[in-house]
Structures are given as C-alpha cells and as structure tokens.
Amino acid sequence: MALILAIETATEICSVSLSLNGLCLAESRLENGNMHASMLHVLVDKILKESQKTLSQLDAIAISMGPGSYTGLRVGTSAAKGFCFALNIPLIAINTLQSLSNIVLVQTEIKENMLLVPMINARRMEVYTAVYTQKLEAHTQTHALILHENAFDDLLPEHTLVYFGNGSYKAKDFLGPKNTLHLPNIKLNASGLSSLAEKKFALQDFENLSTFEPFYLKDFIGTTPKKRL
C-alpha cells in the first residue's frame, strides 16, 4: 500500500488529494485560477492535518502532467519536484485527460459502446483532447484539435461520444444530441489521479526527477501588454 499526495494544477482548478492504496483519504481544491502559486502548499498542509498524516509518511507524489495551462503546470511540477527531492520519494506523472476521464468513470455509468472524449480549453475554438475507451485505453492519442463540424465523423455513428471538461462547451455547436452525451459539470480534481497513481506505483513507473517536464503539448505563446494611454 502506498500513501500518495496528488497535485492537480493543469487548469483553473488547484487541487490536492491524499490517497492510501488508491483510495482517497482527503481532497481539497480552489477554483480561482490566479491562486495556484500562493495556495498550493496551504492546501497540502490542510489535507495532511485532516488526515493526521505528515510529509515524512508519504511514499510518492503524483502530478497531473498536462496538457493544460502552461503556468499551472509549471507551478504544480515545481512543487511536486520539491517534495520529491526533499523527501527522497518518487514522482508519478499522469496524463491530465486520462485523469479527467477517470473521474467520469467514477461518477457516471459508461457502457461498452461509449467513448470518452475529454476536452481541455485552449485558444479560440481549439481544445486539447484524446479519446478513451471504457477501460481508459487510448483510442486516439492526446492532440490539439480545432473544432469543426466534421471533427468526429470517424467515430460517429458507431459509438456514443461522451464529452466533458472545461473546453467541452465549444463542441456543443458541432456535436448534436444524436449518439452524444455532454457532461458539463465534470471538473478536474486531484482525487482523479489516485487509482491511476497507485497502479503506476505498483509497477514502479516513476519519472526522472532531473529531466521531467510537463506535457505542454504546444509551445507557450506570450502576449504583449497593451500600452497605457
């Protein structure tokens, strides 16, 4: 059994959880996208106290590795690496879209003919997405997609598409009610990493602390502040 601290900062939600043997003991989150850097360690202290655990008892740190917000991923990864180096414990990285799909499997009944289509908001009509089976096997690998009316023609009508995530609202104009199911209230949280991290821990599927970088999917694009008059 492993006691694992999970960190989720890939989107506007900042969330941490503590799990034992893949089962969540405590979870806390904030949905203010500007608070990741200042509140992440506060949330960690909170759930450790609630669970009556200490940092020294942790067996591993799990991180939501992306795709997602460049800044959010940097904050989460920096914190996770800091804990791992200080405590001499391994780092486990989970694809954010797979973690989001895992949350759906816990909250919703998914049938065999259904495919899970998580969507994380990107620029304009673009989303970060992938397609997973009921067993969380990748039917389509993680990619950036500019949504259009024929984007999912290769999957319909043989399957029912279950789409969700903070970018899924963009797809409503292109995916009608036939053979689709929109889950608008599914949100990322660190507890979605728990069972996936436990499986990787059992396999000793750990990241190299020196070389690990978040899965940004696309290069960071900065913006130039407007000149003040």
What is the mean predicted confidence (pLDDT) over 140-161? 92
User: Would the pLDDT of 12 be above 50?
Assistant: yes
Residue with tokens 């690496």: 81
Full-model pTM: 0.92
pLDDT of residue 20: 96
Q: Can you tell me the distance from the alpha carbon of 91 to that of 61, in angstroms, rounded to the nearest whole number?
A: 5
Are 93 and 212 a contacting pair, CB within 8 Å? yes
User: Would the pLDDT of 228 be above 80?
Assistant: no
Going by pLDDT thresholds of 50, 70 and 90, the confidence category of residue 219 is low
User: Would the pLDDT of 62 be above 50?
Assistant: yes
Q: Can you tell me the distance from the alpha carbon of 74 to that of 51, in angstroms, rounded to the nearest whole number?
A: 27
Domains and CATH numbers, the chain: 3-95+189-202 (3.30.420.40), 97-183 (3.30.420.40)
pLDDT of residue 19: 97
User: Would the pLDDT of 57 be above 80?
Assistant: yes
What does DSSP say about strands 23-30 and 180-183: parallel, antiparallel, or unpaired?
unpaired
Beta bridge mates, 94: 64
User: Would the pLDDT of 227 be above 80?
Assistant: no
pLDDT of residue 166: 95
Q: Can you tell me the distance from the alpha carbon of 3 to that of 194, in angstroms, rounded to the nearest whole number?
A: 10
State pLDDT tens for residues 162-202: 999 999 999 988 887 889 999 999 999 999 999 999 999 99
State pLDDT tens for residues 193-203: 999 999 999 99
pLDDT of residue 184: 94
Residue with tokens 């009610």: 177
Are 7 and 188 a contacting pair, CB within 8 Å? no
State pLDDT tens for residues 97-120: 999 999 999 999 999 899 999 999
Are 97 and 142 a contacting pair, CB within 8 Å? yes
**CB-based contacts of 60, cutoff 8 Å, min separation 6:** 2, 4, 5, 89, 90, 91, 92, 197, 201, 206
pLDDT of residue 161: 96
Least confident interval from 74-78, 88-92, 121-125, 210-214: 121-125
